[in-house]
C-alpha cells in the first residue's frame, strides 16, 4: 500500500488535539511514527510534549512557524519533493460516507481511503485530493459526480483535511490567507490539470473555530478581501456571492478536467 505521513499544525489546543484528531488516528490504528505535529515555538513544543507525555503520538513534535500560512509553507519545505502527505486540522472528529439511504455513516476504513486517494492521484497524474467540504447529506446526494463518486475538475479542497504529493513550487500566500485552501486548489488545478475530490466522503470538524493557527485577526471583512483578490486574479475561474452573514462565498466556474 502507498505510504504517507500525516501532518497536523496546531496552536494552543492540546486538549482538542488529543480528544479529536489523535483519537481518530488511534481508532484507525495509524502508526505513530507517521504522525508529525507542528507547533509554533519552543514554548509550544514543551507544552505539547507535557500534554502528550503518555500519548503514543508524541514522537514527532516539530517547531515550525506562527500562523497558518507560515506553518503551511514550513511543512512543504520540511518534507522532500514527492513526499505523500495528509494534512489534518487538530479538531477532526471523523470521516463519513454517504450510504445508500443517503445518510452519513462513519467509515471504518480510514487508512484504505487515504491509500486510495494517493493511488488515484498517481493514476490520474494529479497532486491534490480531498473530500466534500460540508458534512451535509442532502447537499452530497444532489451533487453530480463522476463514476466512483469523485470529481477531477476544479473543486474546492477544504484545507482542514486533504492529501497531497509535496510540490515545493505550490505555495501559500498571506494575501489570500483566509482563503488559502481555495487558492491552493486553483494552483494545483492550473499546474496539474485538475484536483481530485471524493464527493461521497466528508469529515466533521469545527468551522471558524476559536483559537488555532488561522484564528488570529480573522474577520469577515478580511475573508472578503481575500475572496476579492482571488476573483480579480482568476476571473475565468472564480466568482462569489454574499451570504446572509456577510461572507463572500467563493464558487469555482470551471468544473471539468482541463486535459
Q: Is residue 148 predicted with pLDDT exceeding 80?
A: no
Instruction: Find the mean pLDDT for residues 61-69.
Output: 95
Task: Tell me the CATH class for 5-252.
Answer: alpha beta
Amino acid 149: pLDDT:
86
**Which of 56-60, 133-137, 186-190, 253-257 is predicted least confidently?**
253-257
| Cα 229 from Cα 222, distance rounded (Å) | 11
Q: Going by DSSP bridges, is the β-strand pair 128-132/94-98 parallel, antiparallel, or unpaired?
A: unpaired
Query: In the structure grid, which three cell numbers stand for residue 48, read together?
Result: 505539547
What are the residue ranges spanned by the domains of the chain? Answer: 5-252
**Which of 8-17, 27-36, 205-214 is predicted least confidently?**
205-214
| Cα 140 from Cα 133, distance rounded (Å) | 10
Amino acid 259: pLDDT:
42
Sign of the CA dihedral running 179, 182, 187, 188: positive
| Cα 135 from Cα 103, distance rounded (Å) | 10
Could you tell me the end-to-end alpha-carbon distance of the chain, in angstroms, rounded to an integer? 28
Neighbours of 247 (CB within 10 A): 16
With contact defined as beta carbons under 8 Å apart, do 37 and 57 qualify?
yes
Tens digit of each residue's pLDDT (9 = 90 or more) over 206-227: 765 555 555 567 899 999 999 9
The percentage of the chain sitting over the pLDDT mark of 70, rounded to a whole number, equals 91
Name the more confident of 57 and 140. 57
Q: Which residue has the cell 499544525?
A: 9
- State CA 50 to chain mean position distance: 27
* Residue 256: pLDDT band with limits 50, 70, 90: low
Q: Which residues of 192-219 are buried (b: 16+ CB within 10 A; e: fewer)?
A: bbbbbbbbbbbbbbbeeeeebbbeeeee
Q: Is residue 111 predicted with pLDDT exceeding 60?
A: yes
| Cα 19 from Cα 21, distance rounded (Å) | 7
Amino acid 258: pLDDT:
46
DSSP string, 3-66: --EEEEE-SS-HHHHHHTHHHHHHHTT--GGGEEEEESSHHHHHHHHHHTTT-TT-S-EEE--S
Tens digit of each residue's pLDDT (9 = 90 or more) over 156-175: 999 999 999 999 999 999 99
* Residue 88: pLDDT band with limits 50, 70, 90: very high
Amino acid 244: pLDDT:
86
Amino acid at each position: 500500500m502507498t505510504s504517507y505521513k500525516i501532518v497536523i499544525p496546531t496552536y494552543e489546543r492540546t486538549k482538542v488535539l488529543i480528544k479529536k484528531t489523535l483519537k481518530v488516528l488511534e481508532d484507525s490504528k495509524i502508526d505513530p511514527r507517521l504522525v508529525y505535529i507542528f507547533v509554533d515555538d519552543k514554548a509550544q513544543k514543551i507544552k505539547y510534549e507535557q500534554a502528550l507525555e503518555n500519548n503514543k503520538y508524541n514522537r514527532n513534535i516539530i517547531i515550525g512557524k506562527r500562523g497558518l500560512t507560515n506553518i503551511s509553507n514550513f511543512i512543504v519545505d520540511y518534507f522532500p519533493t514527492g513526499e505523500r502527505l495528509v494534512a489534518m486540522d487538530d479538531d477532526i472528529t471523523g470521516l463519513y460516507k454517504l450510504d445508500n439511504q443517503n445518510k452519513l455513516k462513519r467509515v471504518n476504513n480510514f487508512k484504505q481511503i487515504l491509500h486510495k486517494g494517493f493511488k488515484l492521484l498517481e493514476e490520474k497524474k494529479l497532486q491534490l485530493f480531498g473530500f466534500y467540504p460540508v458534512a451535509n447529506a442532502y447537499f452530497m446526494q444532489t451533487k453530480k459526480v463522476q463514476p466512483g463518486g469523485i470529481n477531477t475538475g476544479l473543486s474546492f479542497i477544504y484545507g482542514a483535511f486533504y492529501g497531497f504529493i509535496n510540490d515545493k513550487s505550490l505555495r501559500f500566500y498571506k494575501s489570500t490567507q483566509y482563503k488559502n485552501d481555495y487558492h491552493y486548489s486553483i494552483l494545483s488545478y492550473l499546474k496539474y490539470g485538475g484536483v481530485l475530490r471524493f464527493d461521497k466522503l466528508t469529515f466533521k470538524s469545527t468551522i471558524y473555530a476559536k483559537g488555532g493557527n488561522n484564528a488570529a485577526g480573522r474577520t469577515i471583512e478580511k475573508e472578503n478581501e481575500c475572496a476579492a483578490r482571488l476573483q480579480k486574479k482568476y476571473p475565468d475561474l472564480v466568482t462569489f456571492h454574499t451570504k446572509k452573514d456577510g461572507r463572500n462565498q467563493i464558487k469555482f466556474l470551471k468544473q471539468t478536467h482541463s486535459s
